[in-house]
Structures are given as C-alpha cells and as structure tokens.
A and B are shown apart, each in its own frame.
Chain A
Amino acid sequence: MKFSVMISEGPYTHQASDTAYNFIKAALEGGHEIFRVFFYHDGVNNGTRLTTPPQDDRNIINRWSELAKQHDLDLVLCVAAAQRRGIADADEAKRNGKDADNIAEGFRISGLGQLIEAGIQADRLVTFGD
C-alpha cells in the first residue's frame, strides 16, 4: 500500500509528530511505501534545524532527518505555512530578504500542490493533527 501522511502540528507541543513518525516507521517495516510526508499549519516547525531539545528526550527533528535519509522519504514543508512561521531554506531566505535560513536536513519546501498530489497518488492519506 502507498501511504501519504499529513502532519498539521509542530514538534513537542502536540503528539502528532510522534504518532506520525511511529506510524510511518511501522508502515515501512510492514513493507508499505510512503509516497510523501506533507507538513502543514504548525507542522512546518518539524523542519527547523535550530532546536535543542533536552538531552534525555527524543530529538524529533533529527529523527525525521535520519528516517528520511534511511528510507529516501519525501518530507515536504508547505511554502505558505513555512513563510508564515519562519521556516526557510537558502532560496526562500534570499527571495524574502531574510538574513538566515533554518531548514533541517532531509526536508524540502514546496507548494500545496504537493499535498493534493499526495492525496491523488497514494492509496491512503493519513492526517495527524490537533
């Protein structure tokens, strides 16, 4: 089965990122394919590389980067949501006149069309939010 996942909340504040991560891992272990993971609303905050969570707790952002690398996952941050919330890659930072970018490894920024496509191309769309 081909799954697309939508994540609508940021790391730590809501359990959504955790549940999504565990679901995706289980799906991959079960031999399923993850077509895309699309981060919307505050979900784009999963894509900043500037977090320093406590050492004795899970590092949500690094976990995403590692999982993406291990399984060649397509982690997409919605550009409009990212602009609103201050998550940018080098191109976005330059385009919007910002003096820094903060996107984490393994993520890319793209438009809402990627979410729609994720819904069209996958067999199942699963949403994790509040």
Chain B
Amino acid sequence: MSILHTVNKSPFEKNSLRSCIEHALQGSAVLLIEDGVYGAINNTAIAETVKKAMENVAVYALKSDIDARGISQDHLIDNIELVDYSGFVKLAAEHDKVQSWL
C-alpha cells in the first residue's frame, strides 16, 4: 500500500510537514500544496530534513502554488517534481489513498 501525503501549511508555521515526513513510509509520496510549497525551498531550516526524506519518498510540489508565491524554480530543492492539478489527480489515483496533513 502506498500513500499520497499532502501538506498544505508552511513548515515554518506548523509541524505538519515534519510530522508527515516522520510518518511517510518508503514508496509513498508527499505533495506540497498551498503554503506547503514553502517546504520545497532549498537552504531553509527544514531543507535537509526534506532532502533526507527524499531518499525514501518522492516529493512533489504544485506548480501553481509555487508560482503564486513568487518562488523561483532555481531556489527549489533538487529533484522536487512540479506538477499541475492533473498531476495531482494522477498522483491521487496512482497511490492507494490520500492522507492530508493539515
């Protein structure tokens, strides 16, 4: 079984991203949406945690939320794949269930 985890809050505001990562098993995926996309930025206090998680778990970010917040794609952690809403739907369908870390 694999889970698509979604994280929608900033990791600097809430512990949701951290808690999600700490419960995500190998083979599952984490999709950063809304303010959660701030977790995709490199060189932040949580970037190393995210990079370490990426050894076991695929991390994605919703491109429209990255763009809305003016985050430059150069500033993102390497290998975080940007998806659009149809990519989000696809991830939800491909994994067995979706868990939202609010």
Contacts and interface: CB of A to CB of B under 8 A. Distances in A.
Interface in B1-29: 6, 8-9
Contacts of A8: 102
Nearest to B94: A1
Contact of A124 (B35, B64, B86, B93): B93
Interface stretch (A21-29, A42-50, A72-80, A93-101): A21-29
Q: Which size class do B's interface residues fall under?
A: 20 to 34
Contact of B102 (A1, A22, A129): A129
Interface in A81-98: none
Contact of B93 (A19, A32, A125, A128): A32
A54 interface: no
A15 B90 contact: no
Contact of B85 (A15, A23, A123, A129): A23
A129 B35 CA distance: 12
Contacts of B64: 22
Interface in A113-130: 123-130
B86 A128 contact: no
Contacts of A15: 8, 34-35
A64 interface: no
Q: Which of B9, B89, B97 has the most CB of A within 10 A?
A: B89
Interface of B: 6, 8-9, 33-35, 62, 64, 84-86, 88-90, 92-93, 97-98, 100, 102
20 contacts: A1-B93, A3-B92, A16-B8, A19-B8, A19-B62, A22-B85, A23-B88, A25-B85, A26-B85, A30-B86, A30-B89, A30-B90, A32-B89, A32-B93, A124-B93, A124-B97, A127-B98, A128-B8, A129-B100, A130-B9
Interface of A: 1, 3, 8, 15-16, 19, 22-23, 25-27, 29-30, 32, 123-130
